[in-house]
Amino acid sequence: MKRRDFLKTGAAGATGAALASPALAQDITQWTMVTAWPKNLPGPGVAAQTLADRITTLSGGRLEVKLHAAGEIVPGPGVFDAVTEGTAHIYHAVPAYWGSKSKGILLFGSQPFGLRANEQVGWMVHGGGQALYDEMYGRFGIKPFLCGNSGPQWFGWFRNEIASVDDLKGLKYRTTGLASEMCAKIGMAVQAMSGPAMFQAMQSGALDAGEFIGPWTDSALGFHQIAKNYYWPGIGEPSSAEECGVNIEAWNALPEDLKGVVSTACASLYNDVWTEYETKHAQALRQLVETEGVMPKALPEEIVMAMGAAAAEVIEELRANEDELVGRITESFVAYRDLVGGYMTYADNGQMNARAKVLGY
C-alpha cells in the first residue's frame, strides 16, 4: 500500500486485507489499532482497549479506534512496522521492543537503575524528553505518546534459588530492552519473547528463568505453575512505560481538536494505568503467596552491585553511540535521573524509609 493511499483508508479486517474506507460523509475517521498483546491480557491488553475506547469517547465518536490484538492483523513484534508502513494507523506496545530500530528508543521505556513511573513522565513533560522522543520516532514516520506504565517490574521467575553472580552465568533468561544488555554483560543467556512464549519455553525447559511484568499479569499467564521463586527488585526495569505510536500521515491529517483528543487520551490514561497495575499487582501477589506457594525473594546484594556496574557500562556505550541523537537522548536521561534522584533522597525515599520504620512496609 502506498503511503498516500493510507490516508484514504480506515478499519481493517482480521485478515490484514486492504483497509476499508472511513465514513467521511458522516465526518467520522476510523483508525485501526494493532497491539503487541493478547486481547484483554490483564495489564497491557486491558490498557490498550481502554485507550482505544477513550479516544473514541472523547472524540464524541468522530475518531473511532478499533483494536486488533497480536496476530489478528500482524504479529505482536510487527506492530511498529505496520504503523510505519500504513497497514495500521496506531499501535499499542512498549519501547523496549524496538531496540533493533535504534538503541536510543529503549531509554523511553525503561532503564536499568533508571526512572520510576512518575519520574519517567516527568522527564517527558518537564525534562525535554518528549521533543527527543518525537525526533527519534519521526525517523520512522511515527508520532509517539506515553500512555501508561506498569510500575516497578520484578526480576522474575526462577526454578532454583540464586545466591551469587556465578549462579546466573549461562542461565537462559527472558527479558527485553536495556535489561537484556545489562544481564548479558554478567554472562546470562538472554532471550526476548512474548509472555505466552515465555510460559511455553519455561514449561519445556528451553528457558531456566524469566521476567515479564509483575504479579497481576504474570499470574494470568501462569508462570507460578512452573516456578515458585519470584525475585525482586526488577532492577532492569524500575518502571516500564507503555506507548502508542500513530502513523505520521494519519496524525497530520487530523484536525487540531482531534489531535488534542489523542494527546489528552494518552496523557489521562498514564496515571490510571499505572495505579491500576500497582493495585492489582498487590492483590495478585497476596493471592500468589497465600494460595499458590510462591516465595518472593530478594536478590542478593552481590548480584545487585554486579548488575549496577553492568548497567553503568550500558549507559556509557549509549553515550558513545555513533548516532548523535542516541547520545543526546542518553545525556538528557542521565541529567534528569541525577536531578530527581538527588531530590528523592529527601522526598519519596525519605517518606518510604520513615514509613517502613514505623509500619514495617
- Give me 317's grid cell: 556505550
Report which of 307, 37, 296 is spatially closest to residue 150, judged by C-alpha positions.
37
Q: What whole-number percentage of the chain has pLDDT above 70?
A: 93
pLDDT of residue 19: 45
pLDDT of residue 59: 98
Residue 12 binned pLDDT confidence (cut-offs 50, 70, 90) = very low
* Residue-wise pLDDT tens digits, 48-66: 999 999 999 999 999 999 9
Is pLDDT at 24 greater than 70 in this prediction? no
Residue 40 binned pLDDT confidence (cut-offs 50, 70, 90) = very high
pLDDT of residue 55: 98
**Three-point CA angle 82, 22, 11, nearest 5°:** 35
Average pLDDT estimate for 142-146: 98
Q: What is the mean pLDDT of the chain?
A: 93
Report which of 156, 237, 234 is spatially closest to residue 201, judged by C-alpha positions.
156
Is pLDDT at 3 greater than 50 in this prediction? no
pLDDT of residue 279: 98
Residues 6+ apart with CB under 8 A from 257: none
What is the reported pTM? 0.91
pLDDT of residue 26: 63
The Cβ-side half-sphere exposure at 302, using a 13 Å CA radius, reads 8
pLDDT of residue 27: 87
Which CA distances in Å does 23 have to 9, 31, 68, 101, 131?
Answer: 10, 11, 19, 35, 33
Q: What whole-number percentage of the chain has pLDDT above 90?
A: 93
Is pLDDT at 110 greater than 50 in this prediction? yes
Q: Where are the domains of the chain?
A: 3-151+239-278, 156-237+294-359
Q: Does residue 174 contact residue 104 with C-beta atoms inside 8 Å? A: no
Which CA distances in Å does 34 have to 39, 286, 304?
Answer: 10, 33, 37
* Residue-wise pLDDT tens digits, 234-245: 999 999 999 999
**Of 69 and 27, more confident:** 69
- Residue 39: what residue type? K
Average pLDDT estimate for 331-338: 98
Distance CA 244, CA 248 (A): 12
* Residue-wise pLDDT tens digits, 78-104: 999 999 999 999 999 999 999 999 999
Residue 337 binned pLDDT confidence (cut-offs 50, 70, 90) = very high
* Residue-wise pLDDT tens digits, 265-296: 999 999 999 999 999 999 999 999 999 999 99
The Cβ-side half-sphere exposure at 42, using a 13 Å CA radius, reads 19
- The class (CATH top level) of 3-151+239-278 is alpha beta
Is pLDDT at 21 greater than 90 in this prediction? no
Q: Do domains 3-151+239-278 and 156-237+294-359 have the same CATH topology?
A: yes
Architecture of the 156-237+294-359 domain: 3-Layer(aba) Sandwich (3.40)
